[in-house]
Amino acid sequence: MSTDNLTVVLAHGAWADGSSWEKVVSALESAGVCTIAAQLPLTSLDDDVAALDRTIEHVEGPVVLAGHAYAGAVIAASRAANVRALVYVAALAPDEGETVADILGRVAPHPAAPALAPDAHGLIWLPDEAFPAAFAQDATSEEQTYLRAVQQPISVACITVPVGRPLWKDVPAWFLIAQNDRMIPVENQRFMAERMGATVSVHAVDHVPLLTAPTVVADVLLDVVEKVGGNHG
């Protein structure tokens, strides 16, 4: 299969939007790989999967689907027929019958991880101090300020619904483990990656390497594109 018609579709996590992938998009496009960053409403898991699948509907040809953090659950719930591989970037991978909250809470949190609780509308906001302390400790102060300013809260309905059969049981998966992640402990990432039988790469990066180490993320994605689609020229 030629990679000429292969598209990478990126799904963002909680407290972010599609622009969080900006540096990775630039790197992939510079390498000649068509890339789309989906916009998820973060209003419920079903809403997010529907938004992702609507994005994929606009793609002709095969897709490599990548998800960051919470979006690991979203990409695994896609039923788009043209998905050829999944890539988890410090992401969550609940198994059938589990919720995102289940898998997130299976190990003790990092000491710097924030305490989270929904507001009166059922939305979970990341505390301001968590951006430099845990979410993006390797980012510049300007980047941390921007992340805080534009954060998109996530609904409780996104993380409390049991998932169906995850797509990683049917298509090959890759997992970028973030060793310095303070939001999803590294031992939890290892557990999920091993359980799904993913091809693993481990990097000394924080929770948002798509922002703080975009070359690392882009290189992983380019390697997947090569393996799924053959040599790109």
Hey, is 23 helix, strand or coil? Answer: helix
> Domain with 68 in it: what CATH number?
3.40.50.1820
Domain membership of residue 84 (yes or no) is yes
pLDDT at 231: 43
Asked if residue 182 belongs to a domain, the reply is yes
What was the pLDDT predicted at 232? 42
Q: Could you tell me which of 155, 130, 156 has the C-alpha nearest to residue 144? A: 130
Q: How many domains does the chain fold into?
A: 1
Q: Please report the pLDDT score of residue 1 as a whole number.
A: 35
Domain of residue 159, residue span: 3-111+153-229
Integer Cα distance of 3 and 226 in angstroms: 7
The owner of tokens 């929904």 is 118
pLDDT at 122: 97
* Per-residue pLDDT, 5: 85
Answer for the pair 113, 183: CB distance below 8 angstroms, yes or no: yes
Structural domain contains residue 225: yes
- Please indicate, yes or no, if residue 80 is contained in any of the structural domains: yes
> In this structure, what are the phi and psi dihedrals at residue 85, rounded to the nearest 5 degrees?
-160, 155
* pLDDT tens-digit profile, the chain (233 residues): 345 689 999 999 999 999 999 999 999 999 999 999 999 999 999 999 999 999 999 999 999 999 999 999 999 999 999 999 999 999 999 999 999 999 999 999 999 999 999 999 999 999 999 999 999 999 999 999 999 999 999 999 999 999 999 999 999 999 999 999 999 999 999 999 999 999 999 999 999 999 999 999 999 999 999 999 854 43
- Of how many residues is the chain composed? 233
Tokens of 37: 């960053």
Q: What is the dihedral angle through the alpha carbons of 97, 151, 221, 132, rounded to the nearest 10 degrees?
A: -100
Query: Does some domain include residue 202?
Result: yes
pTM of the model: 0.96
List of residues 6+ apart from 182 with CB closer than 8 A:
110, 112, 113, 133, 134, 135, 137, 206, 207
